[in-house]
Amino acid sequence: MLERLFQLKAHNTTLRTEVLAGLTTFLTMAYILFVNPSILGETGMDKGAIFVATCLAAAFGSAVMGLIANYPIALAPGMGLNAFFTYTVVMGMGYTWQVALGAVFISACLFLLLSVFKIREWIINSIPMDLRTAIAAGIGLFLALVALQNAGVVVDNANTLVSLGNLGKPEALLAILGFFLIIGLEARRITGAVLISILLITVISIALGITPFGGVVSMPPSLAPTFLQLDIMGALDIGLVSVVFAFLFVDLFDNSGTLIAVAKKAGLMRKDGYMPKMGRALLADSTAAMAGSLLGTSTTTSYVESAAGVSAGGRTGLTACVVAVLFLLALFFAPLAGSVPAFATAPALLFVAVLMMAGLAEVDWHDITVAAPVLVTALAMPLTFSIATGIAFGFITWVIAKVLAGRWRELNLMLVILALFCVVKLSLFS
């Protein structure tokens, strides 16, 4: 049955490898189970219900992605989108969280229409290969920054933006140890190097008393406080048009960037840059976003942490389905899942960043109209702490560079349209 559903032999993988990859992906993104309720809870939403909604939305989205598209890409409520939901729409603009959920639902419906009519597929396949490589590298740099922050190696600084953290702290030392452990295991071609590192660092942390052992089992809280509580009519208010557009725009490019980066790393992209079953993948994350809003959470999106599972050997949708099962189990094992600290998963993210940078070797650095947009795209993501902003900068720079060089014939209509939309997005929603 598994062979028929996921074509394991055709993808040169095994059941054991896919399960291992699913475990790896889950552990690198399990933080969302605790971060999402913390952020959305500031709107007045019930944190217990948000926790359950997060688990169910992630399970549903990952399962749909695995079964429909057969991609090893997991989904969950997106970081950044949940912050926009809380700090901009609710706390900044003064709308209720019910109206904000309605805006998420409407943007997801528009997202679905773009997927059904293959407009999103056309958009993504219109992106030049060098720009796709830049997106993958930029996401890698973004992950590296997140990893170093989680490890306490890099901290904020009022004068220099960032600076070196206290490397004498046990959290930083354990994160560094975990990273070198991954390198050593990977160099020796030991399967599951990333997962082994995460688990070992977690065990050491608990043994040293750095991380508390949260227990094993607890009954899941009630979903009732957020289930079907969205206010769609309130979200149709003319003042929320920009909010709906922002949800749609950010989700479009966050998703596109993640799909490109992970598919490229998994070898699911053809040499000409075409991604088979892209339409199905886009349909999966569109329906997941709709389901998430009904359950009571912000926009559900593809997770770039899926690349960690790919690095562990994941190549099919079975990886995503394993993640879905683990998110369902997390409903009952939340205390145990919470025992994995951020600094234990940080080395995995940093290792994935190393892998994602490799594509830059394929860029034509001698062509300034290519090199400049690639550099701008890759650097803008970590420096603005936004994948969507980095992609926007990349599109704009690519089009302007080609036009100023007199090579406008190398552009396609979609690239020009995207660049114009990016200008509008940066002007109105920055």
Is pLDDT larger for residue 145 or for residue 181?
181
Phi, psi of 297 (to 5 degrees): -145, 165
Same domain, 103 and 6: yes
Same domain, 391 and 302: no
Q: Which two tokens stand for residue 55?
A: 């688990």
- Residues for the chain: how many in total? 430
Same domain, 384 and 277: no
Residue 226 clears pLDDT 70, i.e. is over it: yes
pLDDT digits (tens, 9 = 90+) for 157-173: 888 888 888 888 999 99
Amino acid 172: pLDDT? 92
pLDDT digits (tens, 9 = 90+) for 334-348: 676 567 787 887 888
Query: Helix axis angle, 387-404 relative to 129-151, nearest 10°?
Result: 150
Same domain, 374 and 320: no
As a whole number of angstroms, the distance between CA 219 and CA 27 comes to 21
pLDDT digits (tens, 9 = 90+) for 89-98: 787 777 888 8
Has residue 172 been placed in a domain?
no
Same domain, 70 and 219: yes
**H or E element in which residue 418 lies:** helix 413-429
Same domain, 28 and 95: yes
Q: What is the mean pLDDT of the chain?
A: 82
Handedness of CA 145, 430, 138, 57 (dihedral sign): positive
pLDDT digits (tens, 9 = 90+) for 280-305: 777 888 888 889 889 988 888 888 77
Amino acid 298: pLDDT? 85
Cβ partners under 8 Å of residue 9, min gap 6: 3
Share of the chain above pLDDT 70, in %: 89
How many helices (H) and strands (E) the chain has is answered by 20, 4
In a 13 Å sphere around the CA of 167, the CA atoms on its Cβ side amount to: 4
Same domain, 389 and 429: yes
Query: pLDDT band for position 400 (50/70/90)?
Result: very high
pLDDT digits (tens, 9 = 90+) for 25-39: 887 777 777 778 877
Has residue 180 been placed in a domain?
no
pLDDT digits (tens, 9 = 90+) for 4-20: 777 777 767 788 888 88
Q: Facing residues of 300 across strands?
A: 77
Same domain, 14 and 129: yes
Say if residue 396 is exposed, middle or buried (CB neighbours under 10 Å; 0-12, 13-18, 19+): buried
Amino acid 271: pLDDT? 64
In a 13 Å sphere around the CA of 61, the CA atoms on its Cβ side amount to: 33
Compute CA 369 distance to the chain's CA centroid, rounded to the nearest angstrom.
Answer: 29
Q: Calculate mean pLDDT across residues 32-54.
A: 83
With contact defined as beta carbons under 8 Å apart, do 308 and 314 qualify?
Answer: no
Residue 429 clears pLDDT 60, i.e. is over it: no
Amino acid 299: pLDDT? 82
Has residue 179 been placed in a domain?
no
Q: Calculate mean pLDDT across residues 205-212.
A: 89
Has residue 28 been placed in a domain?
yes
Query: pLDDT band for position 63 (50/70/90)?
Result: very high
| Domain span holding position 99 | 2-142+214-336
As a whole number of angstroms, the distance between CA 94 and CA 189 comes to 53
Amino acid 26: pLDDT? 86
Same domain, 253 and 395: no
As a whole number of angstroms, the distance between CA 134 and CA 360 comes to 7
Residue 246 amino acid letter: A
Has residue 349 been placed in a domain?
no
**H or E element in which residue 109 lies:** helix 97-116
Same domain, 50 and 125: yes
With contact defined as beta carbons under 8 Å apart, do 395 and 419 qualify?
Answer: yes
Has residue 25 been placed in a domain?
yes
Same domain, 309 and 384: no
Same domain, 16 and 128: yes
**H or E element in which residue 287 lies:** helix 278-295
Q: Calculate mean pLDDT across residues 200-205.
A: 90
Number of domains making up the chain: 2
Phi, psi of 269 (to 5 degrees): -105, 135
Residue for token pair 């991380």:
211
Has residue 190 been placed in a domain?
no
Has residue 255 been placed in a domain?
yes
DSSP 8-class letter at 249: H
As a whole number of angstroms, the distance between CA 72 and CA 162 comes to 34
With contact defined as beta carbons under 8 Å apart, do 206 and 217 qualify?
Answer: no
Q: In this structure, how many other beta carbons lie within 10 angstroms of the beta carbon of residue 241?
A: 13
Query: Helix axis angle, 317-330 relative to 47-64, nearest 10°?
Result: 160
